[in-house]
Structure 1
């Protein structure tokens, strides 16, 4: 594993405990057709410890999927923590609780699952898609992504065509896709020539995939 943790220790969150993620530095970017993204760099406390625990303790699995007339390997490792399942680090449980409390007035419900992806190097990626299996196909919802490890670019583009945007997600960064984003926009993590390991944790409400 080539990733080097923070040289400066845990990020400062003012007078708040380092155990409690805060939202005072979150910036919302309005997209089109009712979609938006919230972005906060260095949001997750204990990011180095969480990253190490996830690489070591998550029961990662490789998957294969049918692609036209052949079966291909999914270019990343996967695991999902369902409703009620303990997460691999207490900082993630605190983060999910903080997200649920902060976004409940807009979302109307808590985040209850955590989908995890392990991008081992720059060859691992995810193709253009929206989380439209389940309620995200017809309803506004939210997906909150916490990124750990090497920075990778998250690309977003409107489904009906138009300019795309690119957001670099670094170690401990938070990005929340909300409103109509899953229905009206797509997102992807493109392949790159060189990258170290990265873990993505996607917190979702019930029945959003």
Structure 2
């Protein structure tokens, strides 16, 4: 299952450690949406990638698209609020984010969804996390990325300029405010040689 990972030149440690969230930077996207970004929040991120790639019970899914059933172009795993997470660092990350955003979010991050992008052919189409409460409430989705950086694209649902943000090697992004219902995001396929990446998405109850 594990794909070859080209390690980060700037993170040459196997010691897993979360940094402070004090340096996180917020960017207003418009329409009440915003993103917070913190590069290198996790030190030793390559070691976490290798652990998750080897130990998580990844599953492949198939979904109906028009008249066909197609493979979902990435591997998936999901951990509910009461499920033990696959590494203690993820438990620490969820608790740290819940404490940092407690006043603004008003509730803890509860679930963890993992996506494994094995190479540039894996992707996720334009979407917002609005199957649940995100369809009508402001909320947050926090994403920790490990492995090779891949571009996250964001665009307003009613049309407008696209925001591009490469994510990988321990970077944190938090999408907040109205982002899930007024903006969409995607990880496009890449024609360039792209190494593997795993994203860990922390969400409150009822957001998916």
Give the alignment's TM-score, normalised by structure 2: 0.94
Q: Which runs of 5+ in 1 are unaligned?
A: 12-16
Cα distance in 2 for residues equivalent to 1:86 and 1:164: 36
Q: How many residues align structurally?
A: 204
TM alignment of 1:162-177, pairs within 5 A? 162-177=160-175
From 85, 94, 103, the equivalent of 2:92 is 94
CA separation in 2, counterparts of 1:118 and 1:97?
23
Aligned ranges 1:129-208 → 2 under 5 Å: 129-193=127-191, 194-208=193-207
Uncovered stretches (5+) of structure 2, i.e. residues with no partner: none
Q: How does 1:32-43 map to 2 (within 5 A)?
A: 32-43=30-41
User: 2:146, 2:198 within 8 Å by CA — same for their partners in 1?
Assistant: yes
1:50 and 2:61 equivalent?
Answer: no
RMSD (Å) for aligned C-alpha atoms: 1.5
Structure 1 segments of 4+ aligned residues over 6 angstroms from their partners: none
Q: CA deviation at 1:2?
A: 1.9
CA offset digits 1:32-67 (Å, max 9, x no partner): 110000000011233122111100110000000000
Compute the TM-score of the two structures, normalised by the length of structure 1. 0.94
CA distance in 1, matches of 2:95, 2:156: 30
